[in-house]
């Protein structure tokens, strides 16, 4: 088989479990105007969203139109008046605003119609008056006029449309209960809508300025630290909005707005393309089962080859699987550890490993904690281990270097002098 075919098959294998995982889920996708400006990127994005839709994912698409509006105003010799870095929408600007939003929306609808050719089922997109707006009002003496803020989301109407198989499109235009038209910030709208409909994911195409310094995954406590440490007002404002949304939406994905394919990479590969903010536990430690043996072998065999871990046969692993715990992320084993009880209140910690891609995130620490908890429950009060490469890590985690004769006799008899491992013990 040719290399490209092999790569294709491998990526299909990797992505297939995500297809099942995402089916029936609701995603809110925020796309800023920059991402929709170019014909080719808009075409690619609509095809990808169409693909997600036909996989059974319910999609609310929230579109911005910042650069398109700038260009249209310039062509009409108009400019935004700004206050507190927010645009003031005057009655003179309103017709250009309405025309431009309609144009961008038409372009998107046209692209979705075209994308239907690449899909087995038609892709239908709909929009409506689901967002109730209210005036932003007069702030510090400046009247924001037709710049509004979100008052209420008619989440039932959105859900009904999603359940009827429509992609729901939201634009910056929303109306008040008095029928007045307002210009709403679409990123804030995406966050509010995702919260109101309790979306499974909020996916945000964003800028480098807003994501600079963020790691690939961020728990809520770490997001708070990033917010506190951020030096830029723009990033602070962005992260504060994300933080308030994270209380309602379990997973928020931040993707580069210049990378339209990021959405598929984010959803169908293990490590995604951008930053994932999660409020649920992104991984779990659990008791290993016999079906996990293959995954454990994949994880530990490189370490066995480097002689960091002692070689274990598949048969031995199968027999001893009840001694193992694993760390699982998206149904993929990224860490493991084993506990073997011995006489005299001793327990042996063995085969502690975290996949190289995930080291340094305190996952090793989490596995050790889990082993210690099990040990305590099984009346073990001294944990020991033999290691050739990692004794410093264990010392930093409360172990001390000991002598062979301090170990249970049965273990002393099995000691491999050629390997010359260090003996470490921790009272628990």
Ligand X SMILES: CC(C)(COP(=O)(O)OP(=O)(O)OC[C@H]1O[C@@H](n2cnc3c(N)ncnc32)[C@H](O)[C@@H]1OP(=O)(O)O)[C@@H](O)C(=O)NCCC(=O)NCCS
38 binds ligand X (CB under 6 A): no
Is residue 390 close enough to count as binding ligand X by CB under 6 A?
yes
Count residues binding ligand X (CB under 6 A): 18
Cα-flanking dihedrals φ and ψ of residue 56, to 5°?
A: 100, 15
Residue 248 CB-density burial (10 A; 0-12 exposed, 13-18 middle, 19+ buried):
middle
Out of 104, 115, 174, 353, point to the residue binding ligand X (CB under 6 A): 353
Nearer to ligand X, 93 or 386 (CB): 386
Q: Does 364 bind ligand X (CB under 6 A)?
A: yes
∠ Cα 180 182 186 (to 5°): 150
31 lies in the binding site for ligand X (CB under 6 A): no
Of these, 38, 389, 400, 419, which contacts ligand X (CB under 6 A)? 389
Q: Which of 98, 99, 359, 381 binds ligand X (CB under 6 A)?
A: 359
Q: In the complex with ligand X, which residue's Cβ is closer, 104 or 354?
A: 354
Taking a C-beta distance cutoff of 8 angstroms, is the pair 277, 218 a contact? yes
Whole-number Cα distances in Å, 19 to 23, 46, 382: 6, 18, 45
CA distances from 77 to 67, 137, 172, 206 (A): 15, 26, 22, 29
> To the nearest whole angstrom, how small is the minimum distance from the Cβ of residue 271 to ligand X?
16
Contact 334, 298 (CB under 8 A): no
**Among 316, 392, 400, 419, which residue interacts with ligand X (rule: CB under 6 A)?**
392
Indicate the residue among 7 and 369 with the shorter CB distance to ligand X: 369
Q: Bridge-partner residues for 132, per DSSP? A: 152, 175
Q: Which residues contact 325 (CB under 8 A, 6 or more apart)?
A: 285, 286, 287, 288, 336, 337, 338, 339, 367, 370, 371, 374
Q: Could you say whether residue 393 binds ligand X (CB under 6 A)?
A: yes
Q: Which is nearer to ligand X, 19 or 395 (CB)?
A: 395
Q: Which of 360, 413, 416, 418 is the binder for ligand X (CB under 6 A)? A: 360
Interface residues with ligand X (CB under 6 A) are: 303, 308, 352-354, 359-365, 385, 387, 389-390, 392-393
């Amino acid at each position: 088989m040719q290399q490209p075919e092999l790569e294709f098959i491998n990526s299909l294998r990797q992505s297939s479990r995500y297809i099942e995982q995402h089916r029936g889920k609701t995603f809110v996708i925020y796309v800023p105007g920059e991402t929709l400006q170019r014909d080719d990127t808009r075409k690619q994005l609509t095809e990808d969203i169409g693909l997600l839709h036909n996989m059974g994912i319910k999609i609310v698409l929230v579109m911005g139109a910042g650069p398109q509006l700038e260009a249209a105003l310039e062509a009409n010799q108009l400019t935004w008046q700004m206050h507190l870095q927010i645009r003031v929408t005057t009655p003179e600007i309103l017709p250009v605003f309405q025309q431009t939003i309609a144009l961008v929306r038409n372009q998107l609808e046209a692209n979705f119609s075209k994308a239907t050719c690449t899909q087995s089922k038609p892709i239908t997109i709909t929009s409506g008056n689901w967002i109730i707006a209210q005036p932003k009002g007069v702030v510090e003496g400046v009247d924001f006029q037709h710049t509004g803020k979100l008052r209420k989301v008619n989440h039932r109407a959105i859900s009904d449309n999603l359940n009827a198989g429509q992609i729901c499109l939201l634009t910056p235009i929303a109306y008040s209960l008095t029928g007045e038209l307002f210009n709403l910030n679409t990123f804030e709208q995406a966050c509010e809508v995702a919260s109101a409909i309790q979306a499974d994911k909020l996916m945000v195409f964003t800028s480098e300025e807003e994501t600079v310094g963020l790691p690939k995954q961020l728990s809520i406590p770490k997001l708070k630290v990033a917010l506190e440490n951020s030096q830029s007002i723009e990033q602070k404002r962005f992260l504060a909005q994300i933080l308030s949304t994270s209380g309602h939406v379990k997973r928020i994905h931040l993707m580069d707005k210049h990378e339209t394919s990021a959405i598929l990479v984010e959803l169908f590969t293990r490590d995604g393309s951008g930053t994932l903010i999660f409020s649920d536990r992104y991984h779990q430690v659990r008791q290993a089962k016999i079906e996990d043996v293959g995954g454990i072998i994949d994880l530990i065999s490189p370490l066995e080859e480097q002689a960091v871990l002692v070689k274990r046969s598949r048969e031995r692993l199968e027999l001893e699987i009840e001694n193992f715990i694993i760390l699982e992320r998206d149904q993929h084993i990224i860490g493991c550890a084993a506990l073997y009880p011995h006489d005299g209140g001793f327990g042996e910690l063995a085969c502690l490993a975290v996949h190289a891609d995930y080291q340094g995130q305190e996952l090793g620490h989490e596995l050790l904690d889990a082993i210690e908890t099990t040990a305590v429950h099984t009346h073990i009060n001294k944990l020991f281990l033999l290691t050739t490469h990692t004794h410093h890590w264990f010392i930093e985690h409360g172990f001390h270097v000991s002598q062979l004769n301090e170990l249970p006799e049965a273990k002393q008899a099995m000691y491999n002098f050629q390997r010359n491992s260090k003996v470490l013990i921790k009272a628990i």
